[in-house]
Amino acid sequence: MVAVPAYAAMNDQQKAKIEALNKQVVDLQKQIVDKYVEAGEITKQQADLTKSNIDQAEQYRQQFTQQNGSVAPVPGYGPGSGYGRGYCGGWGANAGGYYGGRW
C-alpha cells in the first residue's frame, strides 16, 4: 500500500499572493511583446494578436482555478493558437523568440 502525502490547503492570503504574481507575469509578457514591436521584430498587428492570446490564456487559468479550487498551473497551458510557432517559437530570424502562442 502506498501512502499519498496530504497537502495543506492554501489560505486566502497565499492565494492572493499567487494571483498577484500571476498578474505580474501577464503584465511582463505584454511588456516583452511591446519590446519586440519597438525593436521591429514583429508588427503591431502581431503584438495585438499575441496580447489577446495572453489574455485568453489568463482568463482560462482563472476559470480553471475557480472550477477546480486550485491555483495550480493549468494543464495544456503551452503552445496555442497564436502568431508564429508558439512558446519560445517564432520564425525566420526570430526563431527562439518569445512571441506567439500562449505563454
Angle between helices 44-68 and 12-38 (to 10 degrees): 170
pLDDT of residue 32: 97
The SS3 of residue 77 is: coil
pLDDT of residue 67: 82
Q: Which letter does DSSP use for residue 6 in this model?
A: P
Question: Could you report how far apart the first and last alpha carbons of the chain are, in Å?
Answer: 39
pLDDT of residue 101: 46
pLDDT in 10s for each residue of the chain, 103 residues: 555 555 567 788 988 998 999 999 999 999 999 999 999 999 999 999 999 999 999 999 888 888 876 655 555 544 444 444 444 444 444 444 444 444 4
Q: Report pTM.
A: 0.62
The CB-side HSE value for 93 (13 A sphere, CA atoms) comes to: 5
Per-position DSSP letters for 23-56, written without gaps between them: HHHHHHHHHHHHHHHHTTSS-HHHHHHHHHHHHH
The amino acid sitting at 5 is P
pLDDT of residue 87: 44
